[in-house]
Chains A and B, each alone.
Chain A
Amino acid sequence: KNQVEQSPQSLIILEGKNCTLQCNYTVSPFSNLRWYKQDTGRGPVSLTIMTFSENTKSNGRYTATLDADTKQSSLHITASQLSDSASYICVVIRNTGGFKTIFGAGTRLFVKA
């Protein structure tokens, strides 16, 4: 079954600290993996997109990694800020000749002052 599992469900960290969010997937055939940030009351916004051949992609303080062999990805946030408080969603695209998107349930991050 094509699934995307994220951990932890929620996370609380202090401002300035680093954190890593995990994404495991069983989606096949794999096309690409995306991380989105969703602020409360807003739609998801793309952070990174990685293909099979890319094992790391950065966007400012956000760095995503991908291990296509173990079907795992992580999102590392460096020097967290209060504005990083949001849900982070891992999304895997299936390449079936059509456009099939599998969403994870997200990790809710709270950054405290």
Chain B
Amino acid sequence: NAGVTQTPKFQVLKTGQSMTLQCAQDMNHEYMSWYRQDPGMGLRLIHYSVGAGITDQGEVPNGYNVSRSTTEDFPLRLLSAAPSQTSVYFCASSYSAGPSSYNEQFFGPGTRLTVL
């Protein structure tokens, strides 16, 4: 199993550009999510999905779109990049969305995004 994979690992954008961060998992997990990690702060939830065709907003969704056409893939789209979106982005997956004590969450290696 490759687990959770993310591409690209690094990306530099100019303000106003758009791009898609890719995320895939091969564990047949229903729940997938996107987080951003900023210095001195805990990870913050951007968007999540409880299954193919179902997505919802997290804590900081503005400026981002997601879709979930398959169980495996959960891409994150930046519509018009802004410097405030400079961050490290992590994709994560887990077997289900419930708060089960042993519903372990697996994280990808991250994408470091800089918006100039």
Contacts and interface: CB of A to CB of B under 8 A. Distances in A.
Contacts, number: 53
A49 B41 contact: no
B93 to A, nearest CB: 11
Residues of B contacting A: mostly:
loop
B109 A42 contact: yes
A93 B99 contact: yes
What is the predominant secondary structure among interface residues of chain A facing chain B? strand
A99 B41 contact: no
Interface stretch (B12-20, B64-72, B78-86, B100-108): B100-108
B97 interface: yes
B101 A43 contact: no
B107 A43 contact: yes
B90 interface: yes
Nearest to A36: B107
Contacts of A96: 99
Interface residues of B, number: 23
A43 B4 contact: yes
A102 B59 CA distance: 11
Contacts of B110: 41-43
A12 to B, nearest CB: 18
23 contacts: A4-B42, A32-B99, A41-B109, A43-B4, A43-B90, A43-B92, A43-B109, A45-B107, A49-B104, A50-B101, A51-B101, A93-B99, A96-B99, A99-B31, A99-B97, A100-B99, A101-B45, A101-B105, A102-B42, A103-B42, A104-B42, A105-B42, A106-B42
Interface of B: 4, 31, 40-45, 48, 90, 92, 97-99, 101-102, 104-110
